[in-house]
Amino acid sequence: MGQVIKDSPAAEPRFKARGVDKHFGPVQALTQVDLDLYAGQVTALCGDNGAGKSVLTKCIAGIYEIDHGQFFWEGNPVHVRSPRDAARLGIETVYQDLALADNLDIVQNMFLGRERLRSGLLNEDDMERAATKTLADLRVTTVRSIRQPVASLSGGQRQSVAVAKAVMWNSKLVMLDEPTAALGVVQTKMVLDLVRRLRDRGLAVMVISHNLNDVFEVADRIAVVHLGRLVTQGPASDFDRQSVVDYMTTGASSRSGPRTDADGATSGTR
């Protein structure tokens, strides 16, 4: 479905969603969503509050099962039914609510579900070393001790831990759901730098953000969700601020924008 977009990479997207529907009771959260995420590219997912960005992220992460549609991983159809399935493919997620256990310390949170063992028991030394290294790589230097419970961290520090938790695995696709929402200027810059570094390492990166400055700063591609529909996606150079805002608020734009790839996605253009 849909023609290949001009000047998008010729390669197959690392991840594709086609015709994804998701509803919660009477609420239709996602309708016929098609999304492409490319290796070595940052895709910004934009949309108003309640548009369905987080639901889409959680579907890809295996938290919610989709009602209809199909995911493709490097061209092959895949089923992602649980977080473990997603992790096995190399999909990591920084959730909007961060999904950290307050009563566990930083190391324990970073390795939750994937603890290293030595003769059947937890190998704390090994995990602490790896976590320390990851945080140092991310230049997270403000925490007093890597063994302090997450409950004692500030909002920015928690965010950093959640990001570190997602990038310390050999992941191939990292999704960040509003990673800078709780951050100050310096830490926002740090996260955006990190996003670029992940892209340069060849990962596919999806960033959700309300902040159009951030979006235009890091995004190679932009996709916009409006009321559960993916109304447009394409190279960032095809958009300007006004067109993104138009898509976010009305689902259409009369100004510049990419030629749509999904049939009917922009047919609502008035």
Ligand X SMILES: Nc1ncnc2c1ncn2[C@@H]1O[C@H](COP(=O)(O)OP(=O)(O)O)[C@@H](O)[C@H]1O
Residues contributing to the site for another protein (CB under 8 A):
54, 58, 61, 63, 82-84, 87, 93, 95-104, 108-109, 112-115, 117, 120-122, 125, 128-129, 142, 144-149, 151-158, 178, 181-184, 210
* Residue 112 contact among ligand X, another protein, Mg ion, none, beta carbon within 5 to 8 Å by kind: another protein
47 is an interface residue for ligand X by CB under 6 A: yes
Residue nearest to Mg ion (CB): 54
Q: Select the binding partner of residue 29 from another protein, Mg ion, ligand X, none (C-beta < 5 to 8 A, by kind).
A: ligand X
Interface with Mg ion, residue 54, by CB under 5 A: yes
Q: Which of 2, 6, 7, 50 binds ligand X (CB under 6 A)?
A: 50
For 67, list phi and psi in degrees, rounded to 5. -80, -50
Binds ligand X (CB under 6 A): choice among 4, 10, 26, 49: 49
- Name the residue with tokens 């990673």: 179
Task: Tell me the two tokens of residue 254.
Answer: 């009369």
The stretch near ligand X (CB under 6 A) out of 6-14, 45-53, 156-164, 239-247 is 45-53
Residue 51 lies near ligand X (rule: CB under 6 A)? yes
Residues with Cβ within 8 Å of 14's Cβ and at least 6 positions away in sequence, in order, are 37, 38, 39, 73, 74, 172, 173, 204
User: Which of 34, 42, 52, 190 forms a contact with ligand X (CB under 6 A)?
Assistant: 52
Contact 87, 174 (CB under 8 A): no
Each as own residue / partner, the long-range contacts of residues 155-161 (CB below 8 Å, 24 or more positions apart, any chain) are 155/182, 155/183, 156/182, 156/183, 156/184, 156/187, 158/98, 158/100, 158/182, 159/94, 159/98, 159/183, 159/187, 159/191, 160/135, 160/187, 160/190, 160/191, 161/98, 161/100, 161/106, 161/109, 161/110, 161/135
Residues 72-131 contacting Mg ion, CB under 5 A: 96
Q: Which of 4, 10, 24, 267 binds ligand X (CB under 6 A)?
A: 24
Return residues touching Mg ion (CB under 5 A).
54, 96
Return residues touching ligand X (CB under 6 A).
24, 27, 29, 47, 49-55
